[in-house]
Amino acid sequence: MASATSRPPIRVAVTGAAGNIGYAAIFRLASGAVFGPDQPVALNLIEVGPGLDALKGVVMELEDAAFPLLADVVATGDLDAGFRDADWCLLIGAVPRKAGMERKDLLGINGRIFVGQGEAIGRSAKPGVRVLVVGNPCNTNALIALRAGKLRPENVFAMTRLDENRAKAMLAAKAGVHVSAVRRVGIWGNHSSTQFPAFAHATLGGRPATAAIPDHAWLRDTFVPAVQQRGAAVIKARGASSAASAANAALDTLRSLHFPTPEGDWHSVAVLSKGDYGVKPGILFGYPVRTKADGSWEIVQGLELDAFAREKVALTEQELLEERATAAEALGVAL
Ligand code: NAX
């Protein structure tokens, strides 16, 4: 397939491409919604088992969409073919937790998947490949892939953007402003019910959230748990986990890491901790991050964490340390 413009395509590998999130993500990737209207995109779509049959239909639909920017499509069950020459890997496919399954079982089952994927990315993707893990438990899966593939730590991310978007929507609704007026919401820690959506640094239409929302008990006791439990609330209402909003957040993350962050703002993503804000090194920890003009990124520095925030950060840090230990034991490797 020849592309409409002469720029080389950005090649994005997507696992779980025929699943709910994958299906919602790839058409927007192909349309130019992430990398812009002048940037061709190539898609490497990776599936397993029955997903491989469904993927044939997804490829037919991609053809039928006649995207001018879509330069190439590879559909495969082979990890090396799937990750070959990838600039970005979007790791969505994972085994969901089933009734009776312990967290340790899930970490073991998915851990093995992410060992294999990390190794294949290390062998077959471009050396500077960037990896975003969505499949849960995404922070620890990302750590496993990073270690297995000996990937560059600055290039491996786990998704906390859906939590940020949820938090922004809730703050906007409470204050009666449009969601686009909300900035500087950082999700700290794990993408789980221990995450900490830090409201103290947020602004609404330029005003501190704590001024725009004077009900600070609501911020602490209603807002924080509501963001933490939003995924469960969607499952209860929809009978299935968030998919379109999760795909949207994954694409927001790619865009925010690809383009410089607007002045005075930041975005949330989990990165390998090196001790910033006193968090133990060696876990994928959600932080507020800024992307620089040269494409590199930095953790936002100098934010004040009060006693409430420090307690929440410590809780989610503790959970990630435990997840790492459990996964290391289940896989029989050091992480
Ligand atoms: P689906 O079950 O609809 O799709 C998953 C797809 O992955 C299936 O088509 C399956 O065949 C494929 N798959 C499974 N193992 C694979 C492997 N080893 N290689 C390639 N493909 C594989 O789930 P979906 O709703 O798309 O959710 C995917 C993952 O996202 C789950 O782990 C889910 O928990 C996680 N989520 C993460 C979120 C986040 O914010 N980080 C939020 C949404 C979502 O819960």
133 CA from centroid of ligand 1 (Å): 10
Q: Give 291's pLDDT tier (boundaries 50, 70, 90).
A: very high
- What pLDDT, in 10s, does the model give residues 129-166? 999 999 999 999 999 999 999 999 999 999 999 999 99
Burial class, 138, CB count within 10 angstroms (exposed 0-12 / middle 13-18 / buried 19+): buried
User: What's this model's pTM, rounded to 2 decimal places?
Assistant: 0.97
- What pLDDT, in 10s, does the model give residues 180-222? 999 999 999 999 999 999 999 999 999 999 999 999 999 999 9
Residue 14 Cβ inside 6 Å of ligand 1? The answer reads: no
- What pLDDT, in 10s, does the model give residues 293-330? 999 999 999 999 999 999 999 999 999 999 999 999 99
Q: What is the mean pLDDT of the chain?
A: 96
Is 178 assigned a catalytic role? no
pLDDT computed for residue 101 by the predictor: 76
Closest residue (by CA) to atom 35 of ligand 1? 135
Closest residue (by CA) to atom 1 of ligand 1? 19
Q: Give 263's pLDDT tier (boundaries 50, 70, 90).
A: very high
Residue 82 Cβ inside 6 Å of ligand 1? The answer reads: no
- Cβ neighbours of residue 243 closer than 8 Å, sequence gap 6 or more: 20, 21, 23, 24
Q: Does residue 2 surpass a pLDDT of 50?
A: no
Mutate to test the pocket of ligand 1, among 14, 48, 166 (most ligand atoms within 8 A of CB): 48
Q: Tell me the C-alpha distance between 19 and 167, whole Å.
A: 25
Residue 187 Cβ inside 6 Å of ligand 1? The answer reads: no
33 CA from centroid of ligand 1 (Å): 22
CATH of 10-157, one of 2.102.10.10, 3.40.190.10, 3.40.50.720, 3.40.50.10490: 3.40.50.720
Residue 197 Cβ inside 6 Å of ligand 1? The answer reads: no
Among 178, 191, 201, 258, the one annotated catalytic: 191
Give the ligand 1 atom nearest the CA of 135: 32
pLDDT computed for residue 103 by the predictor: 74
Q: Give 5's pLDDT tier (boundaries 50, 70, 90).
A: low
Three-state DSSP at 153 gives helix
pLDDT computed for residue 96 by the predictor: 79
- What pLDDT, in 10s, does the model give residues 226-252? 999 999 999 999 999 999 999 999 999
Closest residue (by CA) to atom 27 of ligand 1? 21
Give the ligand 1 atom nearest the CA of 162: 40
Residue 202 Cβ inside 6 Å of ligand 1? The answer reads: no
pLDDT computed for residue 104 by the predictor: 81
Is residue 115 within 8 A of residue 48, CB to CB? The reply is: no
Tell me the domain boundaries of the chain.
10-157, 161-323
Phi, psi of 330 (to 5 degrees): -65, -35
Phi, psi of 270 (to 5 degrees): -90, 135
Give the ligand 1 atom nearest the CA of 241: 45
- What pLDDT, in 10s, does the model give residues 106-137? 899 999 999 999 999 999 999 999 999 999 99
C-alpha closest to that of 156 among 273, 327, 301? 273
Residue 247 Cβ inside 6 Å of ligand 1? The answer reads: no
Residue 79 Cβ inside 6 Å of ligand 1? The answer reads: no
Three-state DSSP at 45 gives strand
Mean pLDDT of 45-56: 97
Q: How many H helices and E strands in the chain?
A: 12, 14
Give the ligand 1 atom nearest the CA of 50: 11
Q: Does residue 98 surpass a pLDDT of 90?
A: no
Q: Which CATH architecture has domain 161-323?
A: Alpha-Beta Complex (3.90)
